[in-house]
Structure 1
Amino acid sequence: MKRKFLFLAFMTMVAFVLLAACNQEKQEENQPAVLNVKIKTDDHIELNKETEIACLVTYGNEKVTDADEVKFEIWKQGNNQHEMLKAKHEGNGKYVVKKTFTEPGTYSVIAHVTARNMHNMPKTDIAVGQASNMPAEQNHDHDGEEHHDHHSDVTIMLHEQQYHVNEATELTAHITHDGQPLTNATVRFEVWKENSEKHEFIDAHEQAKGEYKATTTFKDKGVYFVKVHVETNELHDHQVEQITVQ
């Protein structure tokens, strides 16, 4: 009788462990993956030398080898001519272009990546030519934490934070123009859930110089996109940010 009781207790414990493991696996499966793009390039590049500019594309823990499109937008700061180069996949989620820079200066690089019905566009700045002739630059190694606009003299950054369903959430954008806070602009947040045709537009208000805020409530968990629209009499620009609501 005692052996039978111990056997039943053992089997119950085994069943409990297996059930807990299954529940954990289901929870992990239900967690939405995020398209992540990380630019891989030197922050200082020699003149007249072929240079590799690359990005690593992942979706959750998966290396994306079949992205719909990967392009690099490259331009010299202060120059309105932007070059768009189509990248080739070299394996393990690494997409590459080759370029030779013939003029010294500070260049901006944006990786435009479309995959898994998502779009991500991180940006970084690189110095080309003699380092002693280059102004001090802050190199942004983006892995989803910051997102900047592709306009050469406008920078838009959505404040990073945690987002929770059914809670009033304050969206904050920091906007600069020519390195200075952009004030008295008309700013709106366009918000939509992944694969949804319904877009919500929310007017933002300037709380401090170059800082614009608006409040919204996310009704469902999942991946959302937030497009920050910026308008003044002289410019009209925008930036898209991908977020996850838990």
Structure 2
Amino acid sequence: MKKKLLVLCTIMGMMVLAACGKEEVDDGSNVEVLPLLVDLTVTEKAEVGETIKMEALVTFGDEKVEDADSVVYEIWEDGKKDDSVMLESVNEKNGIYSAETTFEHDGVYTIQVHVDAKQLHSMPFKEVIIGHGTHATEEHGDDHGDDHAEHEHGHTEGFVLHFMKPENAVTTLDTKLVTHLQVDGQPLEHAAVRYEVSSEVLGDKHEWIDAEEAEAGEYTAVGLFDKAGSYTVKVHVQNDEGLHEHEEYTFDVN
């Protein structure tokens, strides 16, 4: 009887060990990371004063995202990104977010949509030619050349930099500086990003602030501005593949 009991216990013990051996430990390594895809639809050409509809189809895997956290369109004329205009979108359901705009004069414009959803960020863009594609003042040699050179200095193909201008920055509080980077529609990771800060209130002094990559393609830093005034931030971007880009922006501190 004791032998039978011993054999039975041994068999049960082996079955328990076998079951334990088959149990898989979920360490998160097998979790599939789905991409946030944004299909931006904009006409390539239009006339001055013509209403242009912009549509962004937002998907996450096979799912059409109907509850995006934020979908905002940014529009600027070639060489004048510092004067860009932001437009809120309308949620038309089925993953489509739209907005409309018109243009007052000839020129080449960039339309970029900024999408935040599923804790991810995407910002595809397209160019639109309005009228003849060249502003009349530029044809007569107006003094926009320096500004154009600053923003169009020969970007790496597919490179996109979006600096989120601080709003309501004050001297008594830390100011968060945030930049999103993409190449060919994908977050640019592991880049070295530095903010070069200058202002008339600082004199000849330039302050440098190193950014950290908080999320894939998102680089943040915190600055404390002791004096009120208009500040210029030049965003410098480099990586080990030889990319070296910079763009300049201004914002006010009260």
TM-score by length of 1: 0.48
Q: Normalising by structure 2, report the TM-score.
A: 0.47
